[in-house]
Structure 1
Amino acid sequence: MSQSLRKRGTKKSNVSNVTNQEDDIELEKTPVSYKNSEKAHYIGLVAVTLLAAYTRFTKLGTPSRVVFDEVHFGKFASYYLERTYFFDLHPPFAKLLITLVGYLIGYDGKFKFDNINDSYIDNNVPYVAFRSLSAILGVAIIPVMYLTMKTLKFSVPACVLSCLLVCFDNAQVIESRLILLDATLIFSVALSIFTYVKFTTYRNKPYSKQWWSWLYATGISLSCVISTKYVGVFTYVTIGIGILYELWYLLDYERGLSLGDFAKHFFARLWALIVVPFIIYLFWFYLHFAILTKSGPGDSFMSAEFQESLEESPLARLSKDVHYHDIITIQHKATGALLHSHEAVYPLRYEDGRISSNTQQVTCVINEDGKEDDVNNQWEILPASDEPKHGQKVFTNDVIRLRHIGTSGILLTHDVASPLRPTNEEFTIAYGDEAAERFNETLFRLRFSDGTSPSTKQKLVRTKATNFRLIHVDTTVAMWTHDDELLPDWGFEQQEVSGNKKIQDVDNVWTFETIVNLPADDPRNNYTPKIIRRIPFLKKWWELQFLMFYHNNILSSEHPFASSPESWPLALSGVSFWNDNDEKKQVFFTGNVIGFWIEVCFLAIYCGLILADQVTRRRHVYILTRQARSRLYNSLGFLFLGWIAHYFPFYLMSRQKFLHHYLPAHLIAALFTGGLVEFICSNNSNLDNRRLKGVHITKLIIMVSALSIPVIWFFFYFRPIIYGDVSLPPQEVVKRQWLDIKLHYSK
């Protein structure tokens, strides 16, 4: 944080003089023969960097399969390389870095990372090169942390302790070894803090070359954070706290600055920390749109106008206009499953005692090769009236009926509770006279799905290309399915289909996948390229920005891997990233429990120290020296507020939250812990004049060793579930189930 500003000269002094500041974060000369020499710092820096390289690059090729969220970020890199448009909640910077790796090594992007555990080797994917980007950034975090602590004038042991807490943290290592965004995010956070701290060392030389260089470096680093994930706004808050503090100090009349001089300081920071980073932020989106010029899987999220600015992908050649009386398959967008029915019926009574209609089941089955040829997955599109419409095109907002080819019944939904969701309506099939009598219950409206909500636009319906919600006319529910819970044995463990009363839900979207009965001589087999229209960059950016924020905010549903913020600082839980049932190996994502608890303890100790200092000073008892209070409130206070800014806002969020959201706060807590340990191992008392003021080096080394050894032990004890390269016997797995950690293969 800002160092105290001391007035020098008269109020009309030169600005460069009035902003001179005392070095309030440097302790008095250390006792004994210990010196924080450059050589000692160099040795410490090299040592922790080599340790980081060891932990990040060891067994980087293991597992040789898709692990957890690599299914997303590896897939996005493939889309970039093929230039097909996709939609993601995060800004493009880190994804573009991953793509750059693929481009440099000549990867074609054919592999789409569809499923966890898909083999990289069998599909010739250069996954080690992709993972190396995260590993390099993960290693770079450690020297940046060290230099931050060194710039704050902390000793070698304190610098080393801070680095070891991150270097040997399970979660930090795992995130730095996979094709994910978090290594980029955490490195950018560390760099932002370092560059800002470095900037503070040149405050006595405002507008000098070094002053501008580090101010711009801070802005660029902040831009990298916010351009990777929107939680980067917390880093902006952290740096903003320091900036506002120093501006408030400069505003003081006693500092001798005129309002014009103060305005120069204000606008210099506004330009370098807000305007320039925002321009850089826009640049990554410009590059994003410049690369993704072809139609792709993200089209459905965007407006029709936006979609018309994209070239048609090879998939568009397979897209056909849909006509009435076509026999088609219907695919659910979120799960990829096909609408299905069969002769089996719902049980009269469910396991919870509820009674069903005991009529024909309507379900969904996963779309695999050959599923389109199964008549139980095929449906004929019928007009709402009895008048035949052979050859007439189907448009969104039309009212249609669907006849099941396998059993010749008509699809309907009614006011009967569905098997797994009592609040949703059951889908079933009606025949003959019953279908005629219940005609209104068989009517469905095709609502065009444009971006975030259903639209009344009338658009020609095309297979694969047109997203729609099937809205029941009689009861106004949307057809919906889900794969988080499957039907029991009586439903052949297929997906439930039900009527969702929340028609705005994004999971209600479907497409017509294929036309089964399309003759070879049908004119629809002839492909006609569409006309590409141009849209201004800022208009495209604004539309995408709105959708990204919208979808971020609606991520409030339960997730099996989600966790609450109160469980993060103590590493009470974790996430299974990957497991191999054949060889009984696994990668489990959790923090270094000992390291996490050490950080929490010192955060609590700090609160106690602040409270004790404030209470004693109210009684005019001044225990701490001026230098000690400066370090306690400025250097350590800045880091403490940074931890707060990166952690507590998650309590205010209703969206899904995961343990990896805590890692930036964990990094700052590690910096803070190293600093507070040194503070505790120093003679900071005004009441003890018998000893030299400063760091008691022997005490500090003992304390750092006592804290570091268990952290390193825990890391190596849990090593088999960090790297996923060793199969543990069940008794050893059970020994590693600390706190609420639940591991595979414990039996």
Structure 2
Amino acid sequence: MSSLHEQPLRRRGQREADSGTRTANEQQVSVTDTDTDTDKYEHRRETPTSISTQALEAVEQFDFYDRVIALALTFVSLFTRLYQIGKRDIVTWDETHFGKFGAYYVNRTFYHDVHPPLAKMLVGLGEFLSGHNGSFTYASGAVYPEHVNYTFQRGYVAVFGAMTVPLAYRTCRLLGFGKPAATMAASFIVFDNAMCLISRFILLDPPLLCFTAMSLLGYSGFMAQRHRAFEASWWRWLAFTGISLGLVVSSKWTGLFVIALVGLCTIEELLKMFSDSQTPAATQLRHWAARVLCLIVVPIAIYLASFGVHFALLNHRGTGDFKMPSSFQMRQWGNVVGTQPHEVSFGSNVTLRSHLPGFGLLNANGTRRFPDRDREVIAGGVPGKVVNNWWTLVSANRTWENASAPILHVHSGQLVRLAHINTGHFLRTGRSPPYNMGWDRRVFVDGNKTKSDVWDIWRIVVDREESAKSRGKLRAVTTNFRLYNAVSGCLLQATPASFPENVARKFSEVICTDANTTRSEGTLWNIEQVRDTRLKRVALRSAVKRKFLRDFLWINREMAISNNGLTTDPDKYKQAESSPWSWPLLFYPMRMGPWTDDAIKYYEIGNPVLWWASSFCCLVLYPLQLIYWAVQWQRRQISSRWQAGELLRFWDTTKLLWGGWALNYLPFYLMGRVTYLHHYLPALYFALLLLAFEIQCFVHWYMPPRAIWSVAGITILAAAGVFWMFSPLTFGWERPVAELGHLCWLPWWNVVRDQNLF
């Protein structure tokens, strides 16, 4: 069989020399023509529909030499990732975050982070296997104590990064790369300094890259089985793809870009099948069902399961409890919400939590005032537990506000005042508009025990009772209620809008809305804590059954809010942070620690030759190829170097690799959050494979068949040479950086000194 990937075609000049008498019009042929010329480079043509099972087996074949090559590349990859990995015995860069998160799994204390839990649980597993007891806090710049085997922990994570290399080789072979091109592609992964360095610390990126590579491998294997539908091997590759997608999205949300890639390719395949009238409807339905099961249900199940394990492991009070709803907190061992009075009385001191994720607890602070002439003290929401969160439930006529008075339970429909303990003011609304939403009423605190107002009075309306007790009475944690102002009838509502930094830093606005928003979660409240010596403290842990789906949705929304809150710091820009436009050009490499002469210095910089060459392929060469072939296809004139069907096989490979690069890179332009150079690495993985494929195609079109080994060898040596040149900054440089001035290939690289020209 003649294949774009395995059999070289002769050049157009050779065709013209052989034919001699061919006219100008004959030098271009229709895609449906057949060429009868024969020479040593010519082979039988095949149409796209003539791909046989034997041909697919040839593409899939992973012979002895493949195994030797893959094993050798794996050893080299492990060496580059593990060499002197324990050289710096100090908590480096984001190890302070992810090492600490891993320790939380060891001591089982709950925390909050912007990323899904799977990769962090894997980090925690590595710490557990290393013998870590969870006591070390991984403070930034701290020296690792003797009882923390940080070398093992780093090495454990590095293995994930090293495994991307054999995965890349196997993927390329499944995509139809020859052995030289597959070796070249995997070597590019080995000898990229950025991928190597990011794998040498306790971070989430190595598992992310590994699962990204697994996803591409799975889908490539599945596509190679497309003509063996519903056979065992077809199901194995499809299931492996779904599992890999679940793993990658459970590590970081950027895994959604890989899911988008597989999803788009799957939709294209199913639409082609739908347009084929020869495919029975029952068969098409089976194809749809199989993909829904493996590519949608399986990833979702893995994502849900990762949070299930996350919740099960972290069942003790921790730093992230305040981000979760009260019903979740009361089940955490050691959390004060789990042991407190369940009943509530007039005169009780309470905190009020909104059911709007991200809002937190109702708060007031005497130093935060509306910036107008009234200067009222702002009432709003804060995510943490602070002293200004406490309020006293006071009856409307103020006869039951003394904590020593007889117990009088609060019932639905009763009128109350909320007295802020620290300021002594009452929660109040009025006619003035809020800061962010001009069509509603602002909420503030004003007045005192001797100076109250009817605008202070609120009616409590119980929405539902989550415990087994009767509805109608106000209780801590389990009673969800709304607050209506007694004068205007407006509804107290938490909003996601925040005040500016100069008005009320990290303060969410609460309003009183006249709209009918009873279905809004922002209007639902519950009492999170009660302090009242008159009331009996009870264990609330079993008062409400766990609602996993609610906790799952809540934590994911909190993750999204926190992720959007990671904004750019101008002081760090071009020192650590960078914009997406600069990544393919490798404009701003990143220092990963102190840069003094006596420090061990690490520099997150890619292999410049590989980055610039792959960027040229993705940004220039491949788009131009698409434009050229689109024009030629429209004219029904494809260059004679193309055999029938080979353009489609070229498209099948490049759409996957270029699409993977684009989907893992371009969405960062739409993000408002802070971005770093290492965010480009998943896209780079696809770009390096595409680079190797384009090199193979160039040799295939313009050079003799055996030249591919020479070209691959020279290219690999060049990549290895540049890698070695920059390796001091990858393995850790202990001497003065002035000695590395020759590595400033671009004048604004801050290898030696800070110099930002852009």
The bucket for the TM-score relative to the shorter chain is 0.5 to 0.7
Question: Which position in structure 2 is the counterpart of 1:534?
Answer: 545
Q: Distance in 1 between matches of 2:336 and 2:596?
A: 35
Post-superposition Cα deviations, 1:73-101, rounded to whole Å, max 9, x if no partner, equal 33333333333444444333222222333
After superposition, what is the alpha-carbon deviation per residue over 1:156-205, rounded to whole angstroms, capped at 9, x for unaligned? 44334323333333432333223322211110110111122223333443
Structure 1 residues 206 and 726: CA distance shift in structure 2, 3 A: farther
CA distance in 2 between partners of 1:653 and 1:638 (Å):
24
The one of 50, 74, 90 equivalent to 2:99 is 74
How many angstroms does 1:23 deviate by?
Answer: 4.3
Gaps of 5+ in 1: 5-16, 28-35, 347-353, 359-366, 413-428, 447-456, 467-472, 488-494, 686-690
Q: 1:271 to 1:431 in 2, by over 3 A?
A: closer
Q: What are structure 2's unaligned runs of at least 5 residues?
A: 5-48, 352-356, 376-383, 429-444, 461-471, 480-485, 487-491, 513-519, 570-576
Kept in 2: contact 1:134–1:177 (CA 8 A): yes
User: For 1:54-77, what per-residue CA distance to the aligned partner results, in whole angstroms no more than 9, with x for missing partners?
Assistant: 234532362432532642x33333
**Does residue 299 of structure 1 match 2:315?**
no
Secondary structure of the equivalent of 2:545? Answer: coil
Retained in 1: the 8 A contact 2:339–2:540?
A: no
Deviation readout 1:201-232 (Å, 9 max, x if unpaired): 33443333323222222222122112222322
User: Could you tell me which residue of structure 1 aligns to residue 560 of structure 2?
Assistant: 552
The structure-2 alpha-carbon separation of the partners of 1:744 and 1:548, relative to structure 1 and needing over 3 Å to count, comes to: farther
Task: State the match for 1:159 in structure 2.
Answer: 182
Aligned with residue 624 of structure 1, among 641, 644, 657: 641
Give the counterpart of 1:131 among 154, 157, 161.
154
| Equivalent of residue 211 in structure 1, options 231, 234, 255 | 234
The whole-number CA distance in structure 1 between the counterparts of 2:457 and 2:167 is: 63
Specify the alignment match of 1:423 in structure 2.
none
Q: Is the 8 A contact 1:382 1:403 kept in 2?
A: no
Aligned length: 671
Task: Assess if the C-alpha contact under 8 Å between 1:157 and 1:704 holds in 2.
Answer: no
Selected match of 1:181 from 196, 201, 204: 204
Alignment of 1:97 onto 2:122? yes
In the alignment, the residues of structure 2 paired with residue 259 and residue 110 of structure 1 have an alpha-carbon distance, to the nearest angstrom, of 60
- The equivalent of 2:81 in structure 1 is 55
Give the whole-Å Cα distance in 2 for the aligned partners of 1:581 and 1:387.
Answer: 67
Deviation of residue 546 (structure 1)?
4.9
Contact 2:245–2:259 under 8 Å retained in 1: yes
Relative to structure 1, the CA distance from residue 439 to residue 130 in structure 2 (aligned partners, 3 Å threshold; closer, same or farther) is: farther
Q: Deviations over 1:641-690 (max 9, x none)?
A: 2222222233344455443332211111111111111211x2426xxxxx
In the other structure, the counterpart of 2:583 is: 568
Q: Secondary structure at the match of 1:230?
A: coil
Q: Quick check: 1:146–1:160 contact (8 Å CA) kept in 2?
A: yes
Please list the CA deviations of residues 492-546 of structure 1 after superposition, one character each: whole Å capped at 9, or x if unmatched: xxx9798968999x9xx9x99999xx9xxx78998857545323xxx42244235
Structure 1 residue 145 displacement after superposition: 0.8
The answer (yes or no) to whether the contact 2:614–2:691 under 8 Å persists in 1 is: yes
* Matched residue, 1:718: 729
Query: For structure 1, which segment, 195-204 or 730-739, has the greater mean C-alpha deviation from structure 2 after superposition?
Result: 730-739
What SS does structure 1 have at the residue aligned with 2:594? strand
Aligned to 1:33: none
CA apart distance, 1:304 = 3.3
Letter in 2 for 1:613: W
Cα distance in 2, alignment partners of residues 120 and 79 from structure 1? 19
1:666 to 652, 673, 684: 684
1:607 paired with 2:618, answer no
Name the CA distance, whole Å, in 1 between partners of 2:174 and 2:322: 49
Encode CA deviations 1:374-404: one digit per residue, 9 max, x unaligned: xxx9999897999895539999x97666687
After TM superposition, give the deviation of residue 411 of structure 1 in Å.
14
Counterpart Cα distance in 1 of 2:298 and 2:304: 10
CA distance in 1, matches of 2:733, 2:450: 60
- Give distance in 2, aligned partners of 1:231 and 1:716: 28
Distance 1:61 1:53 in 2: 14
Distance 1:528 1:24 in 2: 64
Q: Pick from 631, 647, 665: which aligns with 1:647? A: 665
User: Deviation of residue 38 (structure 1)?
Assistant: 4.5
RMSD: 6.2
Residues 730 and 746, structure 1, Cα contact 8 Å, conserved in 2: no
Q: TM (normalized to structure 2)?
A: 0.66
1:23-38 to 2 correspondences below 5 Å: 23=55, 38=64
Change (3 A) 1:39 1:628: same
Percent identity of equivalent pairs? 23
State whether residues 49 and 140 of structure 1, in contact with CA within 8 Å, keep that contact through their aligned partners in structure 2. no
Q: 2:307: which partner in 1?
A: 285
Q: Which moved more, 1:87-96 or 1:224-233?
A: 87-96
Aligned-partner Cα distance in 1 for 2:149–2:536: 37
Q: Secondary structure at the match of 1:193?
A: helix
Q: Structure 1 120/541 Cα, relative in aligned 2: closer, same or farther at 3 Å?
A: farther
Following superposition of structure 1 onto structure 2, how do residues 238-317 of structure 1 map, counting pairs within 5 Å?
Answer: 238-251=261-274, 253=276, 256-308=278-330, 310-313=331-334
